[in-house]
Amino acid sequence: MDWFTFLLDASSVNNADKYFPIGIQLIFAAGFVATMLALSALVGPKRKTKDKLATFTSGIESHGDARQPMAIKYFLVAILFVLFDVEVIFFYPYAVNFKALGWAGFGAVLMFVAFFLVGFIYIIKKGALKWED
Protein backbone atom coordinates (compact mmCIF):
# COMPACT_ATOMS: atom_id res chain seq x y z
CA MET A 1 0.00 0.00 0.00
CA ASP A 2 1.44 3.39 -0.93
CA TRP A 3 1.18 6.62 1.08
CA PHE A 4 -1.40 8.24 -1.14
CA THR A 5 -4.03 5.53 -0.63
CA PHE A 6 -3.23 5.45 3.08
CA LEU A 7 -3.91 9.19 3.32
CA LEU A 8 -7.14 8.81 1.39
CA ASP A 9 -8.30 6.09 3.77
CA ALA A 10 -7.39 8.18 6.80
CA SER A 11 -9.28 11.22 5.52
CA SER A 12 -12.48 9.22 5.02
CA VAL A 13 -12.40 8.05 8.65
CA ASN A 14 -12.06 11.54 10.13
CA ASN A 15 -14.95 13.58 8.76
CA ALA A 16 -17.16 16.28 10.28
CA ASP A 17 -20.30 14.19 10.85
CA LYS A 18 -18.41 12.11 13.44
CA TYR A 19 -18.15 15.27 15.61
CA PHE A 20 -21.85 16.16 15.42
CA PRO A 21 -22.84 14.31 18.64
CA ILE A 22 -20.05 16.08 20.54
CA GLY A 23 -21.30 19.45 19.30
CA ILE A 24 -24.86 18.62 20.35
CA GLN A 25 -23.64 17.56 23.79
CA LEU A 26 -21.70 20.82 24.21
CA ILE A 27 -24.76 22.85 23.21
CA PHE A 28 -26.95 20.98 25.70
CA ALA A 29 -24.35 21.38 28.47
CA ALA A 30 -24.06 25.14 27.86
CA GLY A 31 -27.85 25.44 27.75
CA PHE A 32 -28.22 23.51 31.00
CA VAL A 33 -25.69 25.74 32.77
CA ALA A 34 -27.34 28.90 31.46
CA THR A 35 -30.80 27.63 32.46
CA MET A 36 -29.71 26.73 35.99
CA LEU A 37 -28.01 30.11 36.49
CA ALA A 38 -31.09 31.95 35.24
CA LEU A 39 -33.44 29.88 37.43
CA SER A 40 -31.35 30.40 40.55
CA ALA A 41 -31.27 34.17 39.90
CA LEU A 42 -35.05 34.29 39.39
CA VAL A 43 -36.25 31.86 42.08
CA GLY A 44 -33.58 32.31 44.76
CA PRO A 45 -34.08 34.47 47.86
CA LYS A 46 -33.11 38.13 47.65
CA ARG A 47 -32.96 39.21 51.30
CA LYS A 48 -30.03 41.58 51.69
CA THR A 49 -29.35 42.10 55.37
CA LYS A 50 -26.51 43.95 57.03
CA ASP A 51 -24.93 40.66 58.11
CA LYS A 52 -25.05 39.19 54.61
CA LEU A 53 -23.52 42.28 53.04
CA ALA A 54 -20.67 42.48 55.58
CA THR A 55 -17.21 41.44 54.44
CA PHE A 56 -16.32 37.96 55.70
CA THR A 57 -12.77 37.58 56.92
CA SER A 58 -12.69 34.14 58.54
CA GLY A 59 -14.83 35.25 61.45
CA ILE A 60 -12.48 38.09 62.43
CA GLU A 61 -13.80 41.63 62.50
CA SER A 62 -12.08 43.67 59.79
CA HIS A 63 -10.47 46.92 60.80
CA GLY A 64 -8.24 49.46 59.13
CA ASP A 65 -7.60 50.14 55.49
CA ALA A 66 -6.46 47.46 53.08
CA ARG A 67 -4.51 50.05 51.10
CA GLN A 68 -1.72 50.55 53.63
CA PRO A 69 1.89 50.16 52.50
CA MET A 70 3.48 46.74 52.89
CA ALA A 71 7.07 45.54 52.71
CA ILE A 72 7.89 44.23 49.25
CA LYS A 73 10.65 41.87 50.48
CA TYR A 74 8.28 38.94 50.90
CA PHE A 75 7.02 39.23 47.34
CA LEU A 76 10.53 39.66 45.97
CA VAL A 77 11.74 36.50 47.70
CA ALA A 78 8.65 34.61 46.50
CA ILE A 79 9.21 35.67 42.89
CA LEU A 80 12.90 34.78 43.09
CA PHE A 81 12.00 31.37 44.52
CA VAL A 82 9.60 30.70 41.66
CA LEU A 83 12.19 31.88 39.13
CA PHE A 84 14.96 29.65 40.43
CA ASP A 85 12.58 26.76 41.08
CA VAL A 86 11.48 26.79 37.45
CA GLU A 87 15.11 26.88 36.36
CA VAL A 88 15.85 23.81 38.47
CA ILE A 89 12.96 21.97 36.79
CA PHE A 90 14.91 22.15 33.52
CA PHE A 91 17.55 19.83 35.01
CA TYR A 92 15.12 16.90 35.00
CA PRO A 93 15.05 16.31 31.22
CA TYR A 94 18.85 16.44 31.18
CA ALA A 95 19.06 13.93 34.04
CA VAL A 96 16.76 11.55 32.16
CA ASN A 97 18.60 11.82 28.82
CA PHE A 98 22.16 12.63 29.82
CA LYS A 99 23.67 9.58 28.05
CA ALA A 100 21.87 10.30 24.80
CA LEU A 101 22.80 14.00 24.85
CA GLY A 102 26.54 13.32 25.13
CA TRP A 103 29.15 16.04 25.45
CA ALA A 104 27.08 18.60 23.58
CA GLY A 105 24.31 18.23 26.15
CA PHE A 106 26.83 18.43 28.97
CA GLY A 107 28.18 21.69 27.53
CA ALA A 108 24.67 23.08 27.24
CA VAL A 109 23.92 22.19 30.86
CA LEU A 110 27.20 23.78 32.00
CA MET A 111 26.24 26.95 30.14
CA PHE A 112 22.80 26.83 31.74
CA VAL A 113 24.34 26.44 35.20
CA ALA A 114 26.73 29.32 34.48
CA PHE A 115 23.80 31.62 33.60
CA PHE A 116 21.97 30.35 36.68
CA LEU A 117 24.95 31.18 38.92
CA VAL A 118 25.52 34.59 37.34
CA GLY A 119 21.88 35.48 38.08
CA PHE A 120 22.17 34.18 41.63
CA ILE A 121 25.38 36.13 42.27
CA TYR A 122 23.74 39.26 40.85
CA ILE A 123 20.80 38.84 43.24
CA ILE A 124 23.11 38.40 46.21
CA LYS A 125 25.22 41.45 45.22
CA LYS A 126 22.07 43.57 44.93
CA GLY A 127 21.03 42.49 48.44
CA ALA A 128 17.67 41.11 47.38
CA LEU A 129 17.81 38.38 50.02
CA LYS A 130 18.74 40.63 52.98
CA TRP A 131 15.86 41.07 55.39
CA GLU A 132 17.38 43.80 57.59
CA ASP A 133 16.02 47.27 56.76
- Compute CA 79 distance to the chain's CA centroid, rounded to the nearest angstrom: 14
Question: Residue 133: what pLDDT?
Answer: 57
**Looking at the domain assignment, is residue 62 inside a domain?**
no
Q: Has residue 112 been placed in a domain?
A: yes
Q: Residue 31 sits in which domain range?
A: 3-53
Using the predicted structure, report yes or no on whether residue 125 has a pLDDT greater than 60: yes
| C-alpha to C-alpha distance for 45 and 52, rounded to whole angstroms | 12
* Residue 65 located in a structural domain: no
Is residue 60 one of the residues assigned to a domain? no
At 34-59, the pLDDT tens digits run: 999 999 999 988 888 887 777 776 76
Query: Using 50, 70 and 90 to split pLDDT, how confident is the model at 27?
Result: very high
Measured distance CA(81)–CA(75) in Å, rounded: 10
71-80 pLDDT, tens digit per residue, is 777 788 888 8
Residue 90 lies in a domain: yes
CA angle 20, 24, 25 (to 5 degrees): 115
